[in-house]
Amino acid sequence: MVVGDFAIEIDTLVVGAGPGGYVAAIRAAQTGQKVTIVDKGALGGVCLNVGCIPSKALIQAGHRFEEAHGADEMGIKSDNVTVDFSKVQKWKDKVVNKLTSGVESLLKGNKIDIVSGEVYFVDKNTVRIMDEKNSQTYTFNNCIIATGSTPIEIPTFKYSDRIIDSTGALNLKEIPKKLIVIGGGYVGTELGTSYANFGTEVTILEGADEILGGFESDMSSIVKRHLKKKNVKIVTNAMAKKSEVTDDSVKVTYEVKGKEETIEADYVLVTVGRYPNTADIGLEQVGIDMDDRGLVKIDKQCRTNIDNIYAIGDIVAGPPLAHKASYEGKIAAEAIAGDKSEIDYNGIPAVVFSEPELATVGYTQADAEKAGFEVITSKFPFAANGRALSLGSGDGFVKLVTRKEDGLVLGAQIAGTNASDMISELGLAIEAGMSAEDLAMTIHAHPTLGEITMEAAEVAMGTPIHIVK
């Protein structure tokens, strides 16, 4: 191995060290591959540094602050609750640092070489990796591209000190008095809820008919109800038109039903989606097929049209979810090793850390019927569960979509507290080909939220215990 004018020869190159890339690198190393991973940013990617993890930390801090005000219904009262937001940010950063340092330890523990720099593809077996001082050529046998995505910027809402993306929202130095959120998807809803819990006056502007458009209306309507209790204003069918920024505020003009309105706030958070990081890294140079959105086309083993180059995560079709990227990373690494692993997205859950939480996996009723299945849809409410009531969280339900002929679990949706944890059992049921009877016959501890899944399965079988058939 020679550094300088000569190329460094490596076995498997992973480009990107986010939840897709670092997982792919570790799995590749476990199969006996000699792996090098490269990223121009911090290990852990967007998810660990400025996405999933810090946002959940901030959301949890918001919950704690809200809860600290007491619960009159339970007879708990408290006065003069305050928040030191600088300490909140330090705590959030501590969580992030612990996880990112853990990723570094995992990579080194698996004998993976870590390189910092930007990658440019020269051909199907060669890249140049550049940092601020040096440029080095590497040749590889196989490559997994996991470069992630970047928030979309609206032309009339250029990012600045007052117009921010999700990263900016996670790193504010103070709690805004007023916040405008453009985009009512999962990111906008999560961060909007978090700041509302801290006392911020939040307005969500959504261009579609409903917020959280990827979820069924009986789920998103519960979230909307809770947001309104927090005095969050939701404006749907609203098109953001222009912004006027001053030193300490920003004014937004938006249009609803042909009429223009204006609103002013300390900050505007833009969360209208993300675009794949596939430009300017030489993919066209190699001849890798992409669609008109810049997403890389792959087969069932995450292989591109170039047989030794694979792509995973936000740069391929599907929802930009960290766990989807990790799953694809394992598939790609195993495919390089000669395994027959293939992607099957039906068991991948989607979660929103809203209030209450939303989670879905597999088919919805509409999707199942469109696919040709004759289904039974069964609901059991959180309001009939002892644990949910003792938590003061009786709002929500578990819904099962089962095949009519044999009760096979095809999908599930949960709206309610801890939905993010509960959905895993139902993902397992789909992955394992389980039926409603299998779920109903599994003894669930009492009193737990998990019983709601069992009860929903009993509804599907026509034998519910704790609600009247």
Q: For residue 5, what pLDDT is reported?
A: 60
Same domain, 434 and 371: yes
Q: Is 185 annotated as a binding residue?
A: yes
Same domain, 314 and 437: no
Same domain, 28 and 143: yes
Number of compact structural domains in the chain: 3
User: Is the dihedral angle over the CA atoms 203, 206, 209, 211 positive or is it negative?
Assistant: negative
Q: Which domain-ending residue is among 241, 272, 303?
A: 272
Q: Residue 282 and residue 297: Cα distance in Å, rounded?
A: 16
Domain presence at residue 350: no
Rounded to a whole number of angstroms, the CA Rg of the chain reads: 24
Q: Residue 3 and residue 107: Cα distance in Å, rounded?
A: 22
Buried b (16+ CB within 10 A) or exposed e, 361-395: bbbbbeebeeeebebbbbbbbbebbebbeeeebbb
Please write the tens of the pLDDT for every residue from 43-73: 999 999 999 999 999 999 999 999 998 888 8
226 assigned to active site: no
C-alpha angle with apex 193: 49 to 349, nearest 5 degrees?
65
* CA distances to 1, 33, 35, 118 from 7, in Å: 8, 19, 16, 16
Q: Which domain-ending residue is among 320, 345, 370?
A: 345
Q: Is 44 annotated as a binding residue?
A: no
Q: Is 313 annotated as a binding residue?
A: no
Q: Is 149 annotated as a binding residue?
A: yes
Same domain, 144 and 284: yes
Q: For residue 336, what pLDDT is reported?
A: 98
Q: Residue 139 and residue 134: Cα distance in Å, rounded?
A: 17
Q: Which residues of the chain have pLDDT under 70?
A: 1-5
Q: Is 188 annotated as a binding residue?
A: yes
Q: Residue 60 and residue 123: Cα distance in Å, rounded?
A: 46
Nearest to 20, CA basis, from 315, 289, 359, 340: 315
Domain presence at residue 398: yes
Domain presence at residue 280: yes
Q: Which of 69, 226, 323, 446 is catalytic?
A: 446
Q: Residue 337 and residue 133: Cα distance in Å, rounded?
A: 35
The DSSP output letter for 74 is: G
Q: Is 190 annotated as a binding residue?
A: yes
Query: CATH number of the domain that 111 lies in?
Result: 3.50.50.60
Q: Is 183 annotated as a binding residue?
A: yes
* H/E element, 9: strand 8-15
Q: For residue 6, what pLDDT is reported?
A: 80
Same domain, 264 and 399: no
Q: Residue 154 and residue 375: Cα distance in Å, rounded?
A: 42
Q: In sequence order, what are the residues at sequence separation of 6 or more whose Cβ sits closer than 8 angstroms to the Cβ of residue 217?
A: 210
Alpha-carbon 10 to chain mean position: 32
Q: For residue 271, what pLDDT is reported?
A: 97
Q: Is 187 annotated as a binding residue?
A: yes
Q: For residue 2, what pLDDT is reported?
A: 40
Same domain, 327 and 369: no
Q: Is 251 annotated as a binding residue?
A: no
Same domain, 90 and 169: no
The DSSP output letter for 293 is: T
The DSSP output letter for 443 is: P
Domain presence at residue 466: no
Q: For residue 70, what pLDDT is reported?
A: 80
Q: For residue 4, what pLDDT is reported?
A: 52
Q: For residue 173, what pLDDT is reported?
A: 96
Same domain, 401 and 454: yes
CB neighbourhood size of 3 (10 A)? 10
* 3-state secondary structure at position 381: strand
Same domain, 211 and 101: no
Same domain, 372 and 418: yes
Q: Is 189 annotated as a binding residue?
A: yes
Same domain, 365 and 410: yes
Domain presence at residue 158: no
Domain presence at residue 467: no
Q: Which domain-ending residue is among 272, 295, 312?
A: 272
Range of the domain at 327: 8-150+275-345
